[in-house]
Chain A
C-alpha cells in the first residue's frame, strides 16, 4: 500500500481565516513533504520533515506553518493567506531522506485551496 491521504479535498478561505491541511500515511515512512502546485506547473517543494523534524524550508512565507505531530501525520497551518496562494497543495512521503537517493516519494491527492 502506497497511500497518502489528504484532507480536505477542497478548501475555500478568506484572507483573514485560519485553516489547516492534513496529511496522513501509514507506510512507516519517516520523511514527509509539502509541495505547492499551481495550474499547469510542476510541484514546488515547500517543506521537508525528516524523523518529525523540519529539515528543509524553501523560503516559504510565515503565513504557512508546518507541523509534524508524529511520524504518520503532517499538517500545514494557514493564516492570513493571499489570493495568489490559491493552488493545489500536495503532500508526499518517502521511507527517509537519507540522501542515498533511493527513496521514492509517494504523493497524496492534494488539497485544492482557493483564497478569496
Chain B
C-alpha cells in the first residue's frame, strides 16, 4: 500500500535558521507530490507541488522542495525561517493513474520557530 512518511514529528528552530523537513513516499509508479501547510487555527494551504519536469520546485513564501526519484524523497526546504512559519506541515502524494482522488498524507511535522 502507498504511504507517505515524515520523519520529524516536531522541529524547533530559531528565526533565520535553515529548514529541511523530510518526506518519503512508497510507490513505484509515477506520483505527484505536494506540501501543504496548516497555520494555527487555519485551513490547509498548498505550499508547492511537483508533477514533472524540474525536480526542484519553488513554492510560496520562500519554500522549495526537491524531488529525488532514486530516494523516493520530496524534502521541503527554506533557507531562513521566520516566526510566522510556525505551523504544521503535511507532505502528500497523489498516485498517478490509480484510485481516483486518493491523496495520501504523511503524519505531519509541527514546526515551531522561536523569535
Contact = CB atoms under 8 A, between A and B. Distances in A.
Interface of A: 2, 31, 33, 40-45, 48, 50, 55-56, 90, 94, 97-110
Interface string B30-44: 111010100000111
Contacts, number: 68
Interface of B: 30-32, 34, 36, 42-46, 49, 51, 90, 94-103, 105-108
Contacts of B94: 101, 103, 105
Nearest to B99: A56
A45 B97 contact: no
A90 B101 contact: no
A45 B102 contact: yes
Nearest to A42: B105
Contacts of A41: 107-108
Contact of B103 (A45, A99, A102, A108): A45
B95 A101 contact: yes
B53 to A, nearest CB: 12
B99 A100 contact: no
B51 A102 contact: yes
A42 B100 contact: no
Contact of B100 (A2, A90, A97): A97
Contacts of B90: 42-43
A106 B101 CA distance: 12
Contacts of B99: 56
Given A101-B31, A101-B32, A107 B43 contact: yes
